[in-house]
Structure formats: structure tokens, C-alpha cells
Amino acid sequence: MRQVGHFIGGKHVEGKSGRTTDFYQPMTGEVIGQVALASKAELREAVENAKAAQPAWAATNPQRRARVLMKFLELISKEMDSLAELLAREHGKTLPDAMGDIQRGVEVVEFACGIPHLMKGEFTEGAGPGIDIYSMRQALGVVAGITPFNFPAMIPMWKFAPAIACGNAFILKPSERDPGVPMRLAELMIEAGLPAGILNVVNGDKEAVDAILDDPDIKAVGFVGSSAIAQYVYSRATASGKRAQCFGGAKNHMIIMPDADMDQTVDALIGAGYGSAGERCMAISVAVPVGKATADALVERLIPRVEALKVGPSTDPTADFGPMVTKAHRDKVLSYVDLGVQEGAKLLVDGRNFTMQGYENGFYMGGCLFDEVRPDMRIYKEEIFGPVLSVVRAENYEEALRLPTEHEYGNGVAIFTRDGDTARDFTSRVDVGMVGVNVPIPVPIAYYTFGGWKASGFGDLNQHGPDSIRFYTKTKTVTSRWPSGIRSGAEFSIPTMK
Ligand code: NAD
């Protein structure tokens, strides 16, 4: 049984609150450890450490800060296999998918290695008589990130890499459901040469989160998780004067036009709907075929593919997806399938009774496929976050466009078509933050930014890419006159640049 405490001031420290929670190995259903749940005082200890270490780190030149990240990349690539195995065992996703989780985080670390360039300010010579103006970006101080269970490597790296590259000290509050990988990432950063106190991991639940939100020394909070908590974190963090960027849940649609290549579409849909057991914020959970002929052709091809999905333990390299993160989450997803049946949707493939031979206590379920789902049903309106795909039939393009546009969530959306004009109209008019054209999961790469709209995102700056540098720095603008000072005496009217 593993005991996971916190990582504060460059070392492991035991939890002192007396509160812990179990975490599992989903593929067998066993409890494999207890993770400490921090008190307000323990969070404060991490903040004190971070606050003491941060000024020297911000004063370290950006190239040297970048070199720590470069070394970290080297260490992580050496450890890729064991890190992926740790991740798969705690989360449940398959090994190749766990590697993808790490790799998409690594790409943001690579982006953050460009910090000497990314943090450059602006300069205007001769903005007025003898006047030069320049701006510079300075670190905020101590900042924090609160992350979800479903990407325990990628999302922590999305948060801490740009923040630390900018010269901040970082407090990470990862998910209590799979704490192993975030702790190992913090150790590797120290091995890479990061000064103690610049990256701290405080494990915990609502108590630790509230302590972060109320702490006067934490200047910015990044959150990723479900929408209700994203909105709560956003309101409470901003009420205490912090910057906040909070990303929430999703209901991502894929529009399938009559001219789409049906083989490509079905391949894309199967991977995007069921990969990682649907526990991805960019998973496709709603397929919208346009016209009856498209819908019938789609469903006909989907049924055998969903029935043939291979569910397996996380260590099986041939599995399409593994178990779900916890029994409670699996049971919640199963209850959504029951609800869909009650609401009158047509359950074409029923994965509810799946059991994995030899792993009977694991948190498995098979893929489920619903047809004739309607927008007034709860299974359409709410995020299910499991291997359940809903087909909503649309009569025409305008009706299909309205569905994601009018949905409460606005994370990702995709259109499959061979018509450039339709794709162009769709990308322009759809009210969703990230759009794929013949790309089912349009997660922007590291040097673009990631962020959903509506109930999928609260705040005005996205994650990674140029927005992350803006989020983790403040701009100071200097107006200077050299060398002889003000020669003509006091001026009482406002200076202009006429
Ligand atoms: P969650 O909201 O349960 O937890 C997220 C974080 O909030 C965790 O660190 C957790 O400890 C903390 N938390 C939980 N309850 C809290 C409370 N009452 N008060 C304060 N903090 C609390 O989310 P999850 O189940 O870990 O992750 C899945 C969700 O995350 C899904 O809704 C998914 O769509 C979303 N997600 C969104 C994105 C995105 O970029 N938009 C990315 C990944 C996941």
C-alpha cells in the first residue's frame, strides 16, 4: 500500500491533517494507496516555501530557466515507459494512451523552453521628444493550478511549465484519484535543477482548493475539471482579486455531412468517442448525421464497430480502451445509459453487462451506442464522460449547426465533409472554442492555445501558447526621458503624442 503525502520545498513531506483518501488501480479494482488531504495550514506551508524561493528564480535569466526545462525533457524521455505504466495503473487508460498523455504535456514544456523569446517586451524609440517607451513582462509571484483526474501528466505540465518558465513559483493541487504521476513530475523537475520551493505539490480535496482560493499570496489560479466546480473556483478566486482561468466539462458534437467519406468518418468517430473510455474533455459524445440516408449509413457501420471494441486491462497493448477511473464514476455512467433508455433513446449497442474475465472487480464497461437521441433528453444535455455515443439526427445543415451552437457547453466540435464552403461557413458560425474540419479531436498544438467557450471555460485567457505567457505575467510599461530630464519646467496639461 503506497502512502502519498505532499511535495513541498523540494522534498516529500507526510500529510499532517489526519485526513486521507484511497486511490485505486482501476484495472483490478484494488485500493493501491492512500493520498493525504491537505489542511489549510499545510497549503500555507507550501505557499511560504514558494514565496521565499520565487524572487531568486524570477531573477535567474530566462535562458537558465529554460535550461532546467530542457533537462527535464531529457529526464522524462528516459523515464517515459515507467511513467506511462504508473499513469495507466492509477488512471486506467491503456499504455499507448498514457504515453500520449505524457507526450502532449511534454510538447508544452518544449514550447516553454522558448521563454527567452516569449517574454520579450516592446520598445518604441522616440515616442515623444526624447522619450522612449518600453514594456516588460514580469512574473506574478506564487501561482496555483488545480487539475482533473483524466490527464494526470498533460494538464499539470500545461500549467506548471509556462508558469515556472515565466519566473513564478507554482503550487499544484492535482486530482486525488491518480496522484502518482504529478508527484514524480515534481521530483524530476528538482532533478533537472529547479530550485526547491518553485514547484510544490499539495494533495487534497475541497479544503485544499478553498485554501488556495483564499490565500492572499497566490496571485493566479488555473483550474481544469467539471463545469460546476470551474465556475465556483472562478467566482471565488476572482472575488479575492486573483487572475483565474477555469476550464470545465464538454459535450462535443461531430457533424457528418452527406458528402463525408463514411469510412474515414466512422474510423474517426470510433477513436474519438471511445478512446480513453470517453474520459476526455475533447471526446466526441454526440454524432450528428445530416439527412436520413447519412444517418442510416452511419448507424449501420457504427453498430459492428462498437460491438467489436476491445476493452482490456490498461497493460494490454491491444485494448482499445481500459477501465474507468473509479467504480463510482463507472456506476454513474451506467446510470446515464439506464436513463437514456427511460428517456426513449434507442440503445443499439448495450455495454452495461460487460465483465472482464480475470479482472472481475475492475471498473469496466463496454461501449454503448444510442440512436434517436433528442436535444430535450438529459443524456444529450449533460456530460456523461464515458464510452457512450449518442446519435442525434438532423434534417439539414442549419439544424446540425444549431445543435452545438445552442448547447450549454462549447469545448470542441468537428465537421466531416468534402465541401470547403460548408466547412468554412461552419467554422465561422459555430459557437464553440475549438473546431475540427475532418479532424475529430481538434486539440490545438502547444504553440496555439486551448480553451472552450460557454460553460466549458471561465476567464479570458486560454491554456498554453501565447495566452499562457500573458496569463502568468503582468506587463509593466516604462516611459523614459534621457539624458537631460525636464528642461522647460513643469507642464500642467496632459502630454499627448501630437
Ligand atoms: P472534478 O471537477 O471532479 O475535479 C477537478 C479538480 O477539482 C480536482 O483537483 C478535485 O480535487 C477538485 N475538486 C473536486 N471537487 C471539488 C469541490 N467541491 N470544491 C473544490 N475543488 C474540488 O473533475 P474530474 O472528475 O477530476 O475531471 C473530469 C472533468 O474535467 C470533466 O468534466 C472533464 O470534461 C473536465 N475536463 C476539462 C478539460 C478542459 O480543458 N476543458 C480538460 C480535462 C478535463
What does the pLDDT look like over 455-482, one tens digit per residue?
999 999 999 999 999 999 999 999 999 7
- Catalytic amino acids? 281
Q: Is the pLDDT of residue 484 over 80?
A: no
Query: Cα(385) to centroid of ligand 1, in Å?
Result: 12
> Residue 411's domain is classified under what CATH number?
3.40.309.10
Given this model, what pLDDT does residue 359 score? 98
Question: How does DSSP assign 33-96, residue by residue?
Answer: EEEE---HHHHHHHHHHHHHHHHHHHHS-HHHHHHHHHHHHHHHHHTHHHHHHHHHHHH---HH
Q: How far is CA 157 from CA 69, 164, 242, 325, 452, in A?
A: 11, 10, 21, 20, 19
Query: Cα(350) to centroid of ligand 1, in Å?
Result: 27
Average pLDDT rounded to a whole number, residues 481-487: 68
Task: Print the SS3 string covering 283-326.
Answer: CEEEEEEECHHHHHHHHHHHHHHHHCCCECCCCCCCCCECCCCC
The answer as to whether 450 is a domain residue is no
Given this model, what pLDDT does residue 491 score? 77
User: 257 and 243 in one domain?
Assistant: no
Given this model, what pLDDT does residue 467 score? 98
Contacts of 493 (CB under 8 A, 6+ apart): none
Q: Is the pLDDT of residue 497 over 80?
A: no
The answer as to whether 493 is a domain residue is no
User: 83 and 57 in one domain?
Assistant: yes
CB-CB contact of 325 with 386 (8 Å):
no
Q: Is the pLDDT of residue 488 over 70?
A: no
The H or E element that residue 412 is part of is strand 412-416
The answer as to whether 63 is a domain residue is yes
Contacts of 16 (CB under 8 A, 6+ apart): 39, 41, 42
Q: Whose CA is nearest to atom 1 of ligand 1?
A: 225
Q: Using 50, 70 and 90 to split pLDDT, how confident is the model at 302?
A: very high
User: 183 and 72 in one domain?
Assistant: yes
Domain range holding 190? 2-248+456-478
* Number of structural domains found in the chain: 2
| Ligand 1 atom with minimal separation from the 149 CA | 26
Given this model, what pLDDT does residue 129 score? 87
Q: Residues lining ligand 1, judged by CB closer than 6 Å? A: 146-151, 173, 175-176, 205-206, 209, 224-226, 229, 247-250, 281, 383, 385, 411, 452, 456
The answer as to whether 400 is a domain residue is yes
Given this model, what pLDDT does residue 493 score? 84
CB-CB contact of 127 with 497 (8 Å):
yes
Per the DSSP assignment, residues forming a β-bridge with 437 are 415
Given this model, what pLDDT does residue 487 score? 61
Given this model, what pLDDT does residue 492 score? 83
DSSP summary character for residue 394 = B
Note the pLDDT tens digit of each residue in 374-422: 999 999 999 999 999 999 999 999 999 999 999 999 999 999 999 999 9
Average pLDDT rounded to a whole number, residues 38-47: 98
Query: Cα(228) to centroid of ligand 1, in Å?
Result: 9
Q: Indicate the average pLDDT of the chain.
A: 97
The H or E element that residue 224 is part of is strand 218-224
User: 462 and 417 in one domain?
Assistant: no
Note the pLDDT tens digit of each residue in 64-105: 999 999 999 999 999 999 999 999 999 999 999 999 999 999
User: 200 and 321 in one domain?
Assistant: no
User: 320 and 268 in one domain?
Assistant: yes
Q: Is the pLDDT of residue 206 over 90?
A: yes
User: 223 and 147 in one domain?
Assistant: yes
| Ligand 1 atom with minimal separation from the 411 CA | 41
User: 56 and 198 in one domain?
Assistant: yes
Q: How far is CA 174 from CA 18, 48, 89, 199, 396, in A?
A: 19, 19, 17, 12, 43
The answer as to whether 449 is a domain residue is no
Q: Which candidate, 379, 358, 191, places its Cα nearest to that of 285?
A: 379
User: 223 and 281 in one domain?
Assistant: no
User: 369 and 259 in one domain?
Assistant: yes
Given this model, what pLDDT does residue 485 score? 54
Q: Which candidate, 101, 255, 122, 290, places its Cα nearest to that of 182?
A: 101
Please tell me the pTM assigned to this model. Answer: 0.97
Residue whose CB lies within 8 A of the most ligand 1 atoms, among 91, 101, 213, 224, for a mutation test: 224
Q: Using 50, 70 and 90 to split pLDDT, how confident is the model at 427?
A: very high
User: 12 and 133 in one domain?
Assistant: yes
Based on the number of CB atoms within 10 Å of its own CB, is 406 exposed (0-12), middle (13-18) or buried (19 or more)?
exposed
CA–chain centroid gap for 459, Å, is: 14
Q: Which candidate, 392, 381, 444, 416, places its Cα nearest to that of 250?
A: 381
Per the DSSP assignment, residues forming a β-bridge with 370 are 347, 390
172: its cell numbers:
499544484
Q: Whose CA is nearest to atom 19 of ligand 1?
A: 206
The answer as to whether 41 is a domain residue is yes
Rounded distance between C-alpha atoms, residue 267 and residue 104, angstroms: 22
Q: Which candidate, 279, 485, 273, 294, places its Cα nearest to that of 395?
A: 294
The answer as to whether 498 is a domain residue is no
CB-CB contact of 99 with 110 (8 Å):
no
5: its cell numbers:
503525502
DSSP summary character for residue 192 = T
Amino acid at 133: I
User: 278 and 222 in one domain?
Assistant: no
- How does 265-275 read in b/e, with b if 16+ C-beta sit within 10 Å? bbebbbbbbbb
> Residue 472's domain is classified under what CATH number?
3.40.605.10
The H or E element that residue 454 is part of is strand 453-454
The answer as to whether 484 is a domain residue is no
Report the C-alpha dihedral over residues 104, 108, 109, 115, rounded to 10 degrees: 170
Query: Cα(246) to centroid of ligand 1, in Å?
Result: 10
Query: Phi/psi of residue 275, each to 5°?
Result: -55, 145
DSSP summary character for residue 278 = G
Note the pLDDT tens digit of each residue in 133-186: 999 999 999 999 999 999 999 999 999 999 999 999 999 999 999 999 999 999
The interface pTM score, or ipTM, of the predicted complex is 0.99
DSSP summary character for residue 276 = G
CB-CB contact of 390 with 306 (8 Å):
no
CB-CB contact of 99 with 449 (8 Å):
no
Q: Using 50, 70 and 90 to split pLDDT, how confident is the model at 496?
A: confident
